[in-house]
């Protein structure tokens, strides 16, 4: 299932290049990485060489100086083979790089963007034990002492943490102001008082690291405040709005990967003298699924193009993530059904797609949070003159 009907020629070329990389370089490692719950170390420099870790970073900093839309295409293309690798690229581009491009000052950009384009993986550290959907209930604190900010607290569920060299960490610098005290800090892995804790053992996307961060008197230079003190809540909201499109793309790629594999199997598997793909009962099922996948694609692409055009995309991003995550789970489950007993075994990739799909309804805003966002924005549109 290709995307040619909705892509310009150069976009399709980029997409095909990343798909080929995923099949040739990632594909042979997928099962081993899943079993080990570890990203193959050699893939990280390969992703930088491919140019997908700094898609929107300007060429003056060593990036590809391309569009947000192409970053989304890279995530989709990689997810067709391994959603774990896709989310590494997603977080790097839609959360970390985008936040620096939007909020970073000239010094911060010159210090960090060249590294993020060439060798440094980044993480986005917002979640805590007490702040998930209620993101601004975070308890991590920041106190200014002389020429340093001192951070105290714990972060949970931090994607890319095992591989990352740079972390955007959110802490409250003035709890008396509530969420308006939240501030974003650029924290390097080597900063005193910072450490990466245990890696979670997860149901799916196992090769993608998800770790705890410990901030025990973590020392952060004053110049490493991202944006301004008290602007952290704005940075968090805007970054997550963009990130939801990336998760939509990851789930879209996953759905296509599962669908294509199962469809190929159904055309080869013979029962009662013909391929099972030729039975009308099967045809109706995969025809409907293909239609739903295309609908998810159009939602994701529409949100990404709106973002590139500088237009409001928040509702569309929520819709894209909501629907694509639902279709990913449905496609992966149906792929197992289509393949029968062998689909239930680890000898074939569809069971992994099924495990990987579950997270789509949870991270970067649960499905219920997306529904709440969509409803709120629909109400606002109705009230607008």
Report in angstroms the alpha-carbon separations of 72 from 250, 286, 348. 8, 25, 27
Question: What count of other Cβ atoms lies within 10 Å of the Cβ of residue 17?
Answer: 16
Q: How crowded is the C-beta side of 6, counted as CA atoms within 13 Å?
A: 17
Active site residue 351: no
Which residue among the candidates 35, 292, 364, 381 is catalytic per the annotation? 364
Give CA–CA dist 334/58, Å, rounded.
42
- Strand 148-159 relative to strand 210-221, pairing: antiparallel
3-state secondary structure (DSSP) of residue 213: strand
- Could you write out the DSSP letters of every residue in 166-200? EEEEEEES-GGGGGGGEEEEEEETTSTTEEEEEEP
CA–CA distance, 238 with 232 (Å, rounded to integer) = 10
Reduced to 3 states (helix: H, G, I; strand: E, B; else coil), residue 288 is helix
Distance of alpha carbon 23 from alpha carbon 43, whole angstroms: 13
Q: Fill in the DSSP letter of residue 228.
A: S
Strands 210-221, 194-199: pairing is: antiparallel
Are 290 and 262 in contact by the 8 Å Cβ rule? The answer is no
- Burial (CB < 10 A; 0-12, 13-18, 19+), residue 16, is middle
Contacts of 90 (CB under 8 A, 6+ apart): 75, 243, 246, 247, 249, 250
Coil, strand, or helix at residue 201? Answer: coil
Strand stretches in the chain, DSSP E = 121-125, 141-145, 148-159, 164-172, 182-188, 194-199, 210-221, 225-226, 270-271, 274-275
Catalytic residues: 364
């Amino acid at each position: 299932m290709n995307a040619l009907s909705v892509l310009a020629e150069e976009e399709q070329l980029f997409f095909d290049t990343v798909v080929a990389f995923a099949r040739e370089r990632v594909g042979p490692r997928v099962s081993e990485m899943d079993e080990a719950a570890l990203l193959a170390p050699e893939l990280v420099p390969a992703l930088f060489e491919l140019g997908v870790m700094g898609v929107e970073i300007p060429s003056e900093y060593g990036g590809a100086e391309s569009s947000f839309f192409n970053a989304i295409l890279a995530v989709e293309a990689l997810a067709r083979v391994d959603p774990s690798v896709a989310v590494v690229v997603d977080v790097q581009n839609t959360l970390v790089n985008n936040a620096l491009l939007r909020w970073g000052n000239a010094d911060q950009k010159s210090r960090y963007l060249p590294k993020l384009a060439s060798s440094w993986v980044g993480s986005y550290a917002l979640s805590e034990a007490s702040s998930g959907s209620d993101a601004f209930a975070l308890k991590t604190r920041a106190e200014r002492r002389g020429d340093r900010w001192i951070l105290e607290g714990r972060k949970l569920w931090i994607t890319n943490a095992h591989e990352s060299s740079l972390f955007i960490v959110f802490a409250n610098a003035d709890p008396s102001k509530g969420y308006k005290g939240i501030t974003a800090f650029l924290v390097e892995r080597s900063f005193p008082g910072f450490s990466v804790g245990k890696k979670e053992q997860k149901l799916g996307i196992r090769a993608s690291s998800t770790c705890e961060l410990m901030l025990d008197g973590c020392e952060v230079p004053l110049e490493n405040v991202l944006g301004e003190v008290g602007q952290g809540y704005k940075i968090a909201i805007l970054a997550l709005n963009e990130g939801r499109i990336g998760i939509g793309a990851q789930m879209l790629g996953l759905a296509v990967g599962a669908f294509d594999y199962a469809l190929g199997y159904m055309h080869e598997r013979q029962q009662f003298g013909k391929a099972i793909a030729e039975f009308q009962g099967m045809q109706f099922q995969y025809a409907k699924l293909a239609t739903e996948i295309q609908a998810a694609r159009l939602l994701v692409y529409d949100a990404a193009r709106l973002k590139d055009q500088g237009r409001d995309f928040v509702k569309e991003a929520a819709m894209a993530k909501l629907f694509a995550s639902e279709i990913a789970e449905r496609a992966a489950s149906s792929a197992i059904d289509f393949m029968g007993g062998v689909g239930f075994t680890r000898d074939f990739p569809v069971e992994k797609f099924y495990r990987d799909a579950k997270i789509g309804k949870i991270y970067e805003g649960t499905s219920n949070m997306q529904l709440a966002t969509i409803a709120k924005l629909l109400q606002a549109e109705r009230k607008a003159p």
